[in-house]
C-alpha cells in the first residue's frame, strides 16, 4: 500500500487559517478526493474553508487545472475551423443558447454547446430541447465531431461523464453543504469543464439580479473576472458580458414555450430583449473567432440562422416542424387597475414555473414540457384594468394555487412608467 504524500487535515487547516495551499498539496487534494481517499466530510470542511477564506488567483488556477486533470481533455483541432462556446450562469427565461448556437454556426464557426439540465428555478437547455419530438441530447464524441465538422456546425448536447469528474463529485457535495456560492469553487467548476472541452474561445454570460445565481452585481463582476482570468491563463480566448436578470428574459418561462420563443427570434421576431442578448453574445463569439465585423442581424433576419437551427435539430433526430406540447390547463392573471407595470421580479416567476412542473426538485424528476408561464407585459408597459398580465400553464390545475402563491407580490402596477436599465451592463476582458 503506497504512502500518501499529504494529509487532508493539513490542507484543511492551511486554508482554514487563511493561508495559500501549496500547488502540490492542492493537486493531491483533488486527486485523492476523486480516488475516494479524501472523504466527503474532509472535502466539505475544505470547501467551507474556501467559502470563508477565499483563494488567490494562482490557487484557483491550480484547483481548476487539477479538476481538468481528473478526466479526459477533448480537442477540436481536427475540425479545421475555429470553435467557440458560450456559458450562461443561468436565469429565468434564459433560452439564449437555442437561437445563438445556430446563428453563430451560420458563419462557418463550430459551436460545441455542452449543456445541462435544470434544477430548481433555473431551466436547463437540454430540458427545453427535449420538448421537440424525437430530439436527443446524448451523442457520442464521434457524432458530435461529425455534426461540428459538417454543414451543421453547431451541436447542443449533454456533456460526457469523462469531463472533469472531480467537479461532478465536488459539485454534488457543495449543493448539500452550503458552499455553492463560493466564487473560487463556482469559477473552477464552470471553467474546468469548459477548458477540458477544448474550445478555442469562450464567451461568458454572467447574470446578476433577483433571478440570477449571483444576485449582487459586484459579486457577479468578481465571478466574471475570475473566470475570464482562468480561461486566459489556460490559453482559451475568453470574454464576459455582465447581464441583468432582475426581470425574466423574454416572455416565456418553461420548456416548450421557450422553444417557441426561440424560433420566433430565429424568424427575425421575438421579444426585443431576447433578440438583443442573442445578437450581443453572437458578436462577442464571432469577434473571438476572427470575424469582428460579422453582420449577425442580417443572418438572423434573412433565414440563414433558421436554416442552421433546422439542420441542427434534424441532425439530433428532432423534427423542427413538429407541433410542440401544449398544456391541458391554463389560468390567466389580469390587471386590477389602469397603469404601468413597474416591477416583475424574476425569481418568484422562476419558482412559479417550477411549481407548475417546468422544473425539477430532484435530479431524477421528470419535467412537464408544456408547463410554464407566459408573460403578456413587462416592466414599463401600459395596462388597462382587465388586461392579461401573465398566463400559467400546467397539465394539472391543482398546481396553480402554489404557483400563484410564488408570484404573489412579485409584480406591481404604478401610475407612472419606469425606465429600465440596460440589459448588458459591462463587458469584461482579460
**CATH code for the domain of 143:** 3.40.1030.10
Told to judge if 192 belongs to the known catalytic residues of this protein, a careful annotator would answer no
Cβ atoms of residues 105 and 154 within 8 Å = yes
Same domain, 354 and 284: no
The CA distance from 265 to 252, in Å, is 12
The three-state secondary structure class of 287 is helix
Same domain, 148 and 241: yes
Write out the residue range of the structural domain in which residue 402 sits: 329-414
- Residue tagged active-site, from 193, 225, 310, 355: 193
pTM above 0.75, yes or no: yes
Strand-by-strand arrangement of the 388-394 sheet? 252-254, 372-375, 388-394, 329-334
- DSSP 8-state secondary structure symbol assigned to residue 80: S
Q: Cβ–Cβ contacts within 10 Å for residue 377, how many?
A: 19
How far are the Cα atoms of 237, 343, 355, 427 from residue 284, in angstroms, in the given order?
11, 30, 35, 10
Joined together, the cell numbers standing for residue 197 give 472541452
Indicate whether 71 belongs to any domain.
no
Same domain, 281 and 186: yes
The CA distance from 83 to 333, in Å, is 45
- Residue tagged active-site, from 15, 95, 174, 399: 174
Q: What is the largest CA-CA distance in the chain?
A: 77
Q: Where residue 43 sits, what CATH number does that domain have?
A: 1.20.970.10
The CA distance from 206 to 87, in Å, is 8
Cβ atoms of residues 49 and 16 within 8 Å = yes
Indicate whether 1 belongs to any domain.
no
In the numeric block, the cell 474561445 is attached to: 201
- Residue tagged active-site, from 88, 189, 192, 210: 189
Same domain, 307 and 373: no
The CA distance from 194 to 173, in Å, is 20
Q: How, if at all, do strands 372-375 and 252-254 pair?
A: antiparallel
Same domain, 313 and 333: no
| H or E element at residue 1 | none
| H or E element at residue 318 | none
Indicate whether 62 belongs to any domain.
no
Same domain, 155 and 294: yes
Cβ atoms of residues 329 and 377 within 8 Å = no
Same domain, 211 and 305: yes
- Residue tagged active-site, from 87, 168, 207, 283: 87
Same domain, 24 and 145: no
Identify the pLDDT of residue 10.
96
Told to judge if 2 belongs to the known catalytic residues of this protein, a careful annotator would answer no
Same domain, 83 and 46: no
Same domain, 282 and 333: no
Indicate whether 299 belongs to any domain.
yes
Told to judge if 216 belongs to the known catalytic residues of this protein, a careful annotator would answer no
Joined together, the cell numbers standing for residue 236 give 482559451
Identify the pLDDT of residue 120.
63
Indicate whether 69 belongs to any domain.
no
Cβ atoms of residues 115 and 157 within 8 Å = yes
The CA distance from 314 to 307, in Å, is 11
- Domain edge (last residue) among 297, 322, 347: 322
Indicate whether 2 belongs to any domain.
no
Dihedral (Cα; 228, 29, 6, 56), 10-degree rounding: 30
Q: Where residue 364 sits, what CATH number does that domain have?
A: 3.90.1170.30
- Residue tagged active-site, from 65, 167, 200, 233: 167
Indicate whether 335 belongs to any domain.
yes
Identify the pLDDT of residue 25.
97
Told to judge if 237 belongs to the known catalytic residues of this protein, a careful annotator would answer no
pLDDT by residue for the chain (430 residues), tens only, comes to 678 999 999 999 999 999 999 999 999 999 999 999 999 999 999 999 999 999 999 999 999 999 999 999 999 999 999 999 999 998 999 999 999 999 999 999 999 998 877 656 667 899 999 999 999 999 998 999 999 998 999 999 988 778 889 988 898 888 788 888 899 999 999 999 999 999 999 999 999 999 988 899 999 999 999 999 999 999 999 999 999 999 999 999 999 999 999 999 999 999 999 999 999 999 999 999 999 999 999 999 999 999 999 999 999 999 999 999 999 999 999 999 999 999 999 999 999 999 999 987 766 778 999 999 999 999 999 999 999 999 999 999 999 999 999 999 999 999 999 988 999 999 999 8
The CA distance from 268 to 341, in Å, is 26
Told to judge if 174 belongs to the known catalytic residues of this protein, a careful annotator would answer yes
In the chain, the number of structural domains is 3
Indicate whether 419 belongs to any domain.
no
The three-state secondary structure class of 166 is helix
Same domain, 390 and 406: yes
Same domain, 313 and 334: no
Amino acid at each position: 500500500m503506497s504512502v500518501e504524500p499529504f494529509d487532508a487535515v493539513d490542507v484543511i487547516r492551511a486554508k482554514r487559517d487563511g493561508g495559500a495551499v501549496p500547488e502540490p498539496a492542492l493537486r493531491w487534494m483533488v486527486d485523492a478526493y476523486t480516488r475516494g481517499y479524501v472523504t466527503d466530510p474532509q472535502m466539505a470542511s475544505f470547501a467551507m474553508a474556501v467559502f470563508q477564506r477565499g483563494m488567490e488567483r494562482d490557487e484557483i488556477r491550480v484547483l481548476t487545472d487539477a479538476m481538468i486533470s481528473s478526466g479526459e481533455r477533448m480537442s477540436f483541432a481536427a475540425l479545421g475551423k475555429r470553435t467557440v462556446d458560450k456559458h450562461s450562469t443561468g436565469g429565468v427565461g434564459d433560452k439564449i443558447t437555442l437561437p445563438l448556437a445556430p446563428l453563430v454556426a451560420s458563419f462557418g464557426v463550430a459551436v460545441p454547446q455542452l449543456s445541462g439540465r435544470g434544477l430548481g428555478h433555473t431551466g436547463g437547455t437540454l430540458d427545453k430541447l427535449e420538448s421537440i419530438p424525437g430530439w436527443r441530447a446524448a451523442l457520442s464524441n464521434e457524432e458530435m465531431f461529425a455534426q461540428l465538422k459538417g454543414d451543421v456546425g453547431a451541436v447542443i448536447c449533454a456533456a460526457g461523464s469523462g469531463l472533469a469528474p472531480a467537479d461532478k463529485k465536488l459539485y454534488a457535495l457543495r449543493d448539500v453543504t452550503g458552499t455553492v456560492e463560493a466564487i473560487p469553487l463556482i469559477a473552477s467548476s464552470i471553467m474546468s469543464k469548459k477548458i477540458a472541452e477544448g474550445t478555442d474561445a469562450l464567451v461568458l454570460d454572467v447574470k446578476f439580479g433577483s433571478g440570477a445565481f449571483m444576485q449582487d452585481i459586484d459579486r457577479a463582476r468578481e465571478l466574471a473576472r475570475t473566470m475570464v482570468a482562468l480561461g486566459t491563463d489556460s490559453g482559451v480566448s475568453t470574454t464576459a458580458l455582465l447581464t441583468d436578470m432582475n426581470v425574466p428574459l423574454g416572455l416565456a418561462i418553461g420548456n416548450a414555450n421557450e422553444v417557441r420563443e426561440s424560433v420566433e427570434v430565429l424568424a427575425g421576431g421575438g421579444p426585443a430583449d431576447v433578440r438583443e442578448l442573442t445578437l450581443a453574445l453572437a458578436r462577442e463569439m464571432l469577434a473571438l473567432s476572427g470575424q469582428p465585423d460579422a453582420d449577425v442581424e442580417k443572418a438572423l433576419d434573412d433565414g440563414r440562422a433558421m436554416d442552421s437551427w433546422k439542420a441542427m435539430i434534424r441532425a439530433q433526430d428532432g423534427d423542427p416542424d413538429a407541433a410542440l406540447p401544449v398544456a391541458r390547463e391554463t389560468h390567466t392573471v389580469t390587471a386590477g387597475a389602469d397603469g404601468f407595470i413597474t416591477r416583475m421580479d424574476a425569481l418568484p416567476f422562476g419558482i412559479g414555473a417550477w411549481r407548475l412542473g417546468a422544473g425539477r426538485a430532484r435530479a431524477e424528476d421528470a419535467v412537464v414540457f408544456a408547463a410554464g408561464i407566459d408573460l403578456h407585459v413587462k416592466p414599463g408597459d401600459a395596462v388597462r384594468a382587465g388586461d392579461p398580465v401573465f398566463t400559467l400553464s400546467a397539465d394539472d390545475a391543482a398546481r396553480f394555487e402554489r404557483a400563484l402563491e410564488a408570484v404573489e407580490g412579485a409584480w406591481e402596477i404604478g401610475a407612472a412608467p419606469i425606465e429600465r436599465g440596460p440589459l448588458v451592463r459591462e463587458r469584461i476582458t482579460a
